[in-house]
């Protein structure tokens, strides 16, 4: 069942149509998700199938802010789905722990099996019709996206402030990577330099940038206690509009090159 998500709860979404739905899985279960589709009317003659994007949420799960981010990818022309990896895993602290444990079972854990199914589902969606798929992940979802991309049929990956595996071998076979980190993040900030060095050694096309004045989660616009507490954490969480906008432009340009090709249609952000 597909139903529109209340637009008043999504900040920063332009013309994209954001819907809640359930993605069918091979085992007969379904997975809650949000689907953001480009506004066809605003695209003029650009109405055919196009590449798709899967967004992997932070530890907080599928919320209004991650729907906003999905809408931004859709506004750039990419049909985008955000699966809810916390659904069905119990109370929030327990489901976060179970999600993290599954990510640790690289390639075989429940999150990997479900992400593979979501990628196949999006590739078969009429708006994508078999086109290439890119993946973007944030925080815990960024580390997951990076590990998944090393063994999956995806064309490009964008991990934001992601954990980087200690052993380069975990990244063997990874697709092109565009990654972003906050220099004030005392936990993950040094990961940018480590990831860039690993991708250099592996000969993988990449664009990795660390923003000195930004902290962790600089792409996210969290309200309530999450937003108030963030700046006081060792990760120095907080939205940074300058870093976020630059990261958006780098990510979209990199996705355009690897998903649409150098001669692809002009995408806006």
Q: 166-169: long-range contacts (C-beta < 8 A, 24 or more apart)?
A: 168/198, 168/201, 168/202
pLDDT in tens, 43-76: 544 567 899 999 999 998 999 999 999 999 999 9
Q: What is the mean pLDDT of residues 185-190?
A: 95
35 CB-contact burial (10 Å; exposed 0-12 / middle 13-18 / buried 19+)? buried
pLDDT, residue 44, reads 44
198's enclosing H/E stretch is helix 191-202
For residue 41, name the pLDDT band (cuts at 50, 70, 90).
very low
Query: 3-state class of 264 per DSSP?
Result: coil
Residue 42 has pLDDT above 70, yes or no: no
pLDDT in tens, 130-175: 889 999 999 999 999 999 999 899 999 999 999 999 999 999 999 9
Q: pLDDT above 70 covers what percent of the chain?
A: 85
Residue 227 has pLDDT above 60, yes or no: yes
235's enclosing H/E stretch is none
Residue 116: C-alpha distances to residues 43, 123, 260 (Å): 29, 11, 21
Question: So what's the architecture of 3-210+241-260 in CATH?
Answer: 3-Layer(aba) Sandwich (3.40)
Q: Following DSSP, what letter does each residue of 171-190 receive, concatenated?
A: GTT---EEEEEETT-TTTTT
| CA gap 149, 165 in Å, rounded | 13
Domain residue limits, the chain: 3-210+241-260
For residue 211, name the pLDDT band (cuts at 50, 70, 90).
very high
The answer to whether the CB of 139 falls within 8 A of the CB of 216 is yes
pLDDT, residue 11, reads 39
| CA gap 75, 269 in Å, rounded | 6
| CA gap 58, 142 in Å, rounded | 8
Q: pLDDT above 90 covers what percent of the chain?
A: 71
30 CB-contact burial (10 Å; exposed 0-12 / middle 13-18 / buried 19+)? middle
What contacts 216, CB < 8 A, 6 or more positions away? 139, 161, 182, 185, 187, 188, 189, 230, 233, 235, 236, 237
pLDDT in tens, 81-118: 999 999 876 667 788 889 899 999 998 999 999 999 99
Please give the mean pLDDT across all residues of the chain: 87
pTM of the predicted structure, to 2 decimals: 0.88
């Amino acid at each position: 069942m597909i139903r529109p998500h209340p637009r008043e709860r999504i900040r920063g979404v332009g013309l994209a149509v954001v819907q809640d739905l359930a993605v069918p899985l091979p085992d007969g279960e379904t997975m809650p998700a949000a689907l953001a589709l480009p506004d066809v009317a605003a695209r003029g003659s650009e109405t055919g199938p196009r590449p798709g994007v899967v967004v992997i949420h932070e530890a907080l799960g599928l919320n209004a802010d991650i729907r906003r981010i999905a809408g931004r990818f859709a506004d750039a022309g990419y049909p985008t789905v955000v699966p809810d990896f916390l659904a069905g895993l119990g109370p929030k602290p327990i489901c976060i722990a179970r999600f993290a444990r599954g990510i640790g079972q690289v390639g075989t854990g429940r999150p990997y099996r479900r992400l593979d199914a979501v990628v196949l589902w999006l590739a078969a969606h009429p708006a994508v019709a078999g086109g290439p798929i890119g993946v973007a992940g944030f925080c815990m979802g960024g580390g997951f996206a990076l590990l998944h991309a090393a063994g999956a049929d995806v064309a490009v990956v964008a991990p934001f402030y992601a954990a980087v595996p200690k052993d380069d071998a975990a990244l063997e076979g990874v697709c092109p990577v565009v990654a972003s980190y906050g220099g004030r993040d005392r936990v993950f900030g040094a990961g940018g330099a480590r990831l860039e060095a690993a991708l250099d050694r592996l000969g993988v096309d990449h664009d990795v940038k660390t923003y000195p004045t930004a902290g962790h989660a600089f792409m996210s616009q969290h309200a309530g206690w999450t937003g108030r507490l963030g700046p006081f954490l060792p990760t120095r969480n907080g939205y940074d509009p300058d870093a976020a906008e630059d990261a958006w432009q780098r990510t979209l340009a990199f996705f355009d090159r690897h998903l649409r090709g150098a001669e692809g249609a002009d995408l806006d952000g």
